[in-house]
Amino acid sequence: RNIILNNPRKRNALSLCMLRSLREDLLHDAKSKELRVIVISAEGPVFCSGHDLKELSSEDDVKHHSQVFEMCAEVMTLIQKLPVPVIAKVNGLATAAGCQLVASCDIAVASEKSQFATPGVNIGLFCSTPAVALGRSLPRKVALEMLFTGEPLSAQEALMHGLVSKVVPEDKLEEETLKISQKICASSKSVLALGKAAFYRQMTQDLDTAYKMTTQVMVDNLTLRDGQEGIEAFIQKRKPVWSH
């Protein structure tokens, strides 16, 4: 499924309304057998500029501010809880919570002209929530330089430091994203869902706990119909037929 951020006039800012729509789109039919991969892209030269600062400008509306940041955190964590892979297809600038969105996706493909920044410090609002996703995607010193200076990373720098998975020329962005999506669609949905959940779980664990947990996941994987089908197909030298 394609989710397109489509408010280029507002630089695809993550207003409360936009965040609610994004959550709804991510959750829509998430458990359906037909849904195999979600691609998030955007219209216009800016992938996403982060929060709508107009929503954050009056200092007395603390309740509204809490709603905005809580909804944002919910959307970012939801991406990793979904049973299907989520790909960010970035063609342009991703800043602040927009950069957080890219860092929160499972895979990110970017065009060469894309840039990534957390410039909140420059306007007196430190990117503390984007820092959660950034600090888990990038080496600490790279993340902190971005957070302390607000200076952008080029697409190539983002690739080098692990914020994105691939960088391609703008005219190849669609093709490359499609290629990855098709490869994902060729696998079993149930196996991928199991693997994705286990991956994020073990990332927060110590080595021994992670091995103990994933050992059990491997055993569980073999009890799935598609786990057995894949192994039988390999032994019989034929293509597997997934039931998902």
Q: What is the pLDDT of residues 97-152, one digit of tens each?
A: 999 999 999 999 999 999 999 999 999 999 999 999 999 999 999 999 999 999 99
Q: How many angstroms separate the CA atoms of 220 and 224, rounded?
A: 7
**CATH classification at residue 106:** 3.90.226.10
Q: How many CB atoms lie within 10 A of CB 144?
A: 14
Mean predicted confidence (pLDDT) in 14-27 = 96
Mean predicted confidence (pLDDT) in 217-222 = 98
Mean predicted confidence (pLDDT) in 197-219 = 98
Instruction: Say if residue 82 is in the same domain as residue 102.
Output: yes
Q: Is residue 11 part of a domain?
A: yes
Which pLDDT score, from 0 to 100, does residue 57 have?
A: 84
Which pLDDT score, from 0 to 100, does residue 31 have?
A: 85
Q: How many angstroms separate the CA atoms of 67 and 101, rounded?
A: 17
Instruction: Say if residue 103 is in the same domain as residue 174.
Output: yes
Q: What is the pLDDT of residues 155-196, one digit of tens each?
A: 999 999 999 999 999 999 999 999 999 999 999 999 999 999
Q: How many domains does the chain have?
A: 2
Instruction: Say if residue 169 is in the same domain as residue 192.
Output: no
Instruction: Say if residue 181 is in the same domain as residue 192.
Output: no
State the residue range of the domain holding 148. Answer: 2-185
pTM recorded for the entire structure = 0.95
Is the CB of residue 47 less than 8 Å from the CB of residue 87?
Answer: no
Beta strands in the chain (DSSP E): 2-5, 38-42, 46-48, 86-90, 93-95, 107-111, 115-117, 153-154, 166-168
Q: What is the DSSP string of 157-226?
A: HHHHHTS-SEEE-GGGHHHHHHHHHHHHHTS-HHHHHHHHHHHHHHHTS-HHHHHHHHHHHHHHHHHSHH
Instruction: Say if residue 195 is in the same domain as residue 74.
Output: no
Residues in the chain: 244
| Domain final position from 166, 185, 204 | 185
Sheet holding 46-48, edge to edge: 46-48, 93-95, 115-117, 153-154
**CATH classification at residue 193:** 1.10.12.10
Which pLDDT score, from 0 to 100, does residue 60 have?
A: 66
pLDDT at 58 over 80: no
Instruction: Say if residue 15 is in the same domain as residue 58.
Output: yes
Instruction: Say if residue 81 is in the same domain as residue 105.
Output: yes
Instruction: Say if residue 139 is in the same domain as residue 122.
Output: yes
Q: How many angstroms separate the CA atoms of 8 and 141, rounded?
A: 32
Q: What is the pLDDT of residues 79-93, one digit of tens each?
A: 999 999 999 999 999
Which has the closest alpha carbon to 90: 73, 114, 74? 114
Which pLDDT score, from 0 to 100, does residue 61 have?
A: 85
Question: Pairing mode, if any, of strands 2-5 and 38-42?
Answer: parallel
Instruction: Say if residue 38 is in the same domain as residue 155.
Output: yes
Q: How many angstroms separate the CA atoms of 5 and 12, rounded?
A: 6
Q: How many angstroms separate the CA atoms of 179 and 220, rounded?
A: 29
Instruction: Say if residue 173 is in the same domain as residue 147.
Output: yes
Hey, is 236 helix, strand or coil? coil
